[in-house]
Copies of this chain bind each other. A is one copy, B any other.
Amino acid sequence: MEEFAEAIVRKFQKELNAGTVSLVLLAILARAEEPQYGYQIAKQLEGASDEGVPVKQGTLYPVLRSLEGQGLLSSRVEPSVSGPPRKYYSITEQGVSVLEDWKDVWSRTRDFVDGTLEGGRG
């Protein structure tokens, strides 16, 4: 029963991350002054969270690829002296525009959820 409950909580976190990770990655790349590669982005994700990020580094890469596939990011691969080539991501003009829409959707959804949860107290 305990393990079952834990699995249900993990599933919920995963479902929440489905939308929020895309939003957060796009926001990080919108304020980056230069193109970023995966590890740099992961470091900024860590820095943004006080108590451990609910996002594993390995889950970033498919999301970055998906954002690129949607035309919201572009990338270029560059050789690295210290290891394998690195893929650097930048936000596109379309990405900047979609980010503004996503922020609105996020605020509305967040307020809606918070409003419903608060209803339980009053």
Interface residue? A17 (CB, 8 A): yes
Q: How far is the CA of A22 from the CA of B94 in the complex (A)?
A: 31
A-B contact pairs, 29 of them (CB 8 A): A1-B94, A5-B94, A5-B97, A8-B70, A8-B72, A8-B98, A15-B18, A15-B19, A15-B22, A16-B18, A16-B19, A16-B105, A16-B106, A17-B109, A18-B19, A24-B116, A24-B117, A28-B116, A28-B119, A48-B112, A48-B119, A49-B112, A49-B115, A54-B105, A54-B109, A54-B112, A103-B117, A106-B117, A110-B110
Interface string of A36-66 (1 = CB under 8 A from B): 0000000001001111011000000000000
Instruction: Check B116 against A48 for contact (C-beta < 8 Å).
Output: yes
Q: A20-B109, A103-B117, A110-B114 are in contact. List 8 more A-B contacts (CB 8 A).
A: A12-B23, A12-B102, A16-B18, A18-B18, A24-B112, A24-B113, A24-B116, A54-B109
How many copies of the polypeptide does the oligomer hold?
2
A interface, size bucket: 35 or more
